[in-house]
Amino acid sequence: MSSRDSILAAVARNQPEHIPLPEIPAFFSGETDVLEKFTSVAVSIGSKVFRVKDLEEVKQVLLKEYSGARRIVSAFPELADIGEVYIAPATDPHTLANVDLAVLPAQLGVAENGALWVTDVQLPMRVLPFICQYLALVVPQKNIVPLMQQAYDVIGAQEYGFGTFIAGPSKTADIEQSLVLGAHGARTLSVFLLE
Amino acid sequence: MKETKDHAALAEAFNADEPRVNWHDETLWFIRQKRDKAAHTVADWELLRETASQIKHNVLSNLHDYLLQFEANAKANGIIVHWAADAAEHNRIVHEILQKHGVKQMVKSKSMLTEECHLNDYLSEHGVEVIDSDLGERIVQLAKEPPSHIVLPCIHKKKEEIGDLFHEHLGTPAGMADPQVLTEAARQHLRETFLTRRAALTGVNFAIAETGEFVICTNEGNADMGAHLADVHIACMGIEKIIPERKHLGVFLRLLARSATGQPITTYSSHFKKPREGHELHLVLVDNGRSIQLGREDFRNSLKCIRCGACMNTCPVYRRSGGHSYHAAISGPIGAILAPNLDMKKNADLPFASTLCGSCSNVCPVKIDIHDQLYKWRQVIVKEGYADTKKTLGMKAMTQAFASPTTFQLAGKAGRWFMRHVPFAVSNKMNPWYKQREMPAPPKESFGEWYLKNRKKKNE
Ligand code: SF4
């Protein structure tokens, strides 16, 4: 018998009587102002948050905040004058190692934890939001939901090869519980809440 | 093989340095407090825990079908699925994948399963170099030690010791112990690793039967850096990591990081559904004793564990004996339930490394009855003749004090009763793991009239 079959047989033999799957309750969110909540949580986990009218304003903030950035990659054609806006699908991801700033769209944000949902449907390369030194994510204000439950309601049966929630800059506290930002991923995260 | 020392002996060695033990104790308690604060920000925390617990009960009762469903969906997504009955088969499968691709160097992100299987040792014996990329894991790897905690692998290490290691291996200046500087040095060193490794191995936090995708949670971004740069991504998971539907992540991701470190969520919660165009994504489903544990009615709930580490951070014994004293890949209260399933004789001491105070069960996000199971293991171990005399004596004293298990149905209740009425018996020599100190105060809510009365008296 293959390991697969013997494992499955042992599991079938040993699993208890069927216990039904519970309904997921409607959890209490309580927040009247999700943007306010999102902002305060995101800031508390090390993100910078900007409320902006349009991509032009995003550009102005980026130029000021990341004036030292040499290689900028973005997924917005509107930002073509400050960086590359196209990465060929066959590109070797290792060639992104020198990206200073990546500017990418997020589908939605979650107020309770400051996380933003990004999938490879919008990402030119999966590794981009991790390998860049600095990351900026742009999300429509109307797409901020209170809790993870609502986030997964929106995500639903969405199709993607890879998707990720990003909450703040990469971090570690492995050395004596001292928080250090910029472990292996992006050193900072700027979130733009678009009107 | 060398006879391993038991928990009591190892804990005694750890306790030789009192200030260090106090530091370890306080650091973990600090994390426990952060967990409390995070939990209190969620209005429905208890409802969340209950829901998570019920989902996990359903998973265990339907695991056979969920595994089949997951396998079918993962395959349809283009993931190559493997099954490993035990650690040896797991290691062999991983090695074969690496051999097929001619890979001699691999980068690995945190996976307690590969610790359990001793994958690094196996691969190094077969000429494959593994670099652990989680900062804490890299630190213990350089120190040639196993992780002492499932979430915080080097929580037992002082920054000066880490500075010395980095000085020796990564060339940081002698005496440099600033966490910021050391982390930056590790970032540079590991970035080089990520950019040059053709194979990456990761763990799995959740695997979704409905969609065939799996989720990995990290703060550092190391799993993603490894997986998205390598030609081959190998993900290894225990068969109990399955959850039924994608939307259930909305429950578990709310609990995991809050319970682990007090963060609202980990920095990255990455969902891997399909391989990158033109690349291979392998998934190894590992049993290694889990199907046996599933059949142990009293202990199967241990398979609900989502590896948050909260039970360790809160455990008075763990905090004062250190993770290495458990001599098992998974330490602390949950480790003490899982380890005897794998080897009852070798791990017979572990269920005794507890005060049965119940704090672990109180914080567990999936409501595992941890301290009850520890109590039950003691009975099994004594009955099977694996307990040594000293432990059996302590056990007998306890058993006598309880007179009848039906009088004190819950082990936690019994433990608290015991501490309340005969605390000296818990902190005396009969209790082999607790030599240095008087018992910590049991949780306030379970104190009862006796304590209140006595405190009043004391204050008068
Ligand atoms: S037993 Fe519970 S508290 Fe302990 S690590 Fe597992 S999920 Fe966390």
- Residues whose CB is less than 8 angstroms from the CB of residue A192 and which lie 6 or more positions away in sequence, other chains included: A50, A51, A52, A58, A61, A136, A137, A138, A139
Give the model's pLDDT for residue B425. Answer: 41
Residues A41, A38: Cα–Cα separation, whole Å: 5
Domain boundaries of chain A, sorted by first residue: 32-87+96-194
Nearest Cα of chain B lies from the Cα of A189 at a distance, in angstroms, of: 11
Using CA coordinates, name the residue in chain A closest to B271.
A163
Residue B6: the pLDDT is 86
A178 vs B159: CB contact, 8 Å cut-off?
yes
pLDDT for B4: 58
Confirm or reject: Cβ of B370 under 6 Å from ligand 1.
Answer: yes
Residue A11 burial (10 A CB sphere; 0-12, 13-18, 19+) = buried
Residue B189's nearest CA partner among B166, B158, B173 is B166
Query: Could you tell me which CATH class the domain A32-87+96-194 is placed in?
Result: alpha beta
B375 alpha-carbon distance from chain centroid: 19
C-beta of B309 in contact with ligand 1 (< 6 A): yes
Q: Distance between CA B393 and CA B411 in Å, rounded?
A: 18
Nearest residue in A to B86, CA atom:
A3
Q: Which amino acid is it at A157?
A: A
| Alpha carbon distance A44, B55 (integer Å) | 31
| Number of helices and strands in chain A (H, E) | 5, 11
- Is B274 an 8 Å CB contact of chain A? yes
| pLDDT attached to residue B456 | 46
**Cβ contacts of residue B411 below 8 Å, gap of 6+?**
B356, B371, B372, B374, B375, B376
For chain B positions 41-60, those within 8 Å of chain A (CB to CB) are: 42-44, 47-48, 51, 54-55, 57-58, 60
**CB contact, 8 Å: B141 with chain A?**
no
Name B131's bridge partners. B107
Tokens read off for B381: 């171990």
Pairing relation of β-strands A162-166 and B268-272? antiparallel
For residue B401, give how far its alpha carbon lies from the nearest alpha carbon of chain A (Å).
33
At B433, the amino acid letter reads: W
Which residues 426-445 in chain B show a CB within 8 A of chain A? none
Sites in chain A below the pLDDT cut of 70: none
- The residue among B265, B274, B301, B341 with the most chain A CBs within 10 A of its CB, best to mutate, is B265
CA-nearest of B198, B327, B341, B205 to B260 is B205
- For B40, phi then psi, to 5°, come to -70, -15
How many whole angstroms separate alpha carbon A46 and alpha carbon A168?
Answer: 6
- Determine whether the interchain pair B47/A27 forms a contact, defined as Cβ–Cβ distance below 8 Å: yes
Interval B182-229: pLDDT, tens:
999 999 999 999 999 999 999 999 999 999 999 999 999 999 999 999
- Which domains does chain B possess? 42-288 (3.40.50.10420), 390-459 (no CATH)
* DSSP result, B297-338: TTTGGGGG-----HHHHH-HHHHHH-GGGG-SSS-HHHHHHH
Tally of CB atoms within 10 A around B246: 21
Q: Which residues of A touch B64 (CB under 8 A)?
A: 8, 11-12, 15
**Positions in chain B short of pLDDT 70:** 1-4, 389-460
Give the distance from residue A77's alpha carbon to the nearest chain B alpha carbon, in angstroms.
24
pLDDT value of position B419? 45
Is-contact B306 B133, C-beta < 8 A?
A: no
pLDDT of residue B8: 86
